[in-house]
Amino acid sequence: MAISWLADVLRSAGVQVVEEGAWLSRSAGSSFAPVGVLWHHTAAQSSASRPAPALQICIDGRSDLSGPLCHALVDYNGVFHVISANRANHAGRSAGSGPIPAGDGNTLMVGWEIDYAGDGSGQGGPVQQMTAAQYDASVAATAAVLTRLGRDASSARGHRETSTTGKIDPSFIDLDQMRADVAVAMGQAPPTTPPGTPFRTYASNVNVRPTPDTSGTPVGTLASPTTVYVQCQTPGQSVTANGYTNDLWAKISSPVAGYVNNVFIEGPASLPVEACAI
Contact set with Zn ion (CB under 5 A): 40, 159, 169
Which residue number, 71 or 159, has a Cβ lying nearer to Zn ion?
159
**Cβ proximity to Zn ion, 112 vs 259, nearer residue:** 112
In the bound complex, what is the minimum distance in angstroms from residue 13's beta carbon to Zn ion? 23
Using only C-alpha atoms, what is the Rg of the chain?
Answer: 24
Q: Where are the alpha helices (DSSP H) in the chain?
A: 6-12, 55-60, 105-108, 132-149, 159-162, 175-185
Nearest distance, CB of residue 2 and Zn ion, angstroms: 22
Please give the Cα distance from 143 to 185 (Å, whole number): 6
In which element (H, E) is residue 38 found?
A: strand 36-41
Give the separation between CA 242 and CA 121, rounded to whole angstroms: 55
DSSP letter for each residue of 10-30: HHHTT--EEE-SSTTT--S-S
Residue with Cβ nearer Zn ion (159 or 179):
159
Q: Quick one: 11 or 93, whose CB is closer to Zn ion?
A: 93
Question: Nearest approach, Cβ of 157 to Zn ion (angstroms)?
Answer: 11
- The minimum distance between CB 83 and Zn ion, in angstroms, equals 15
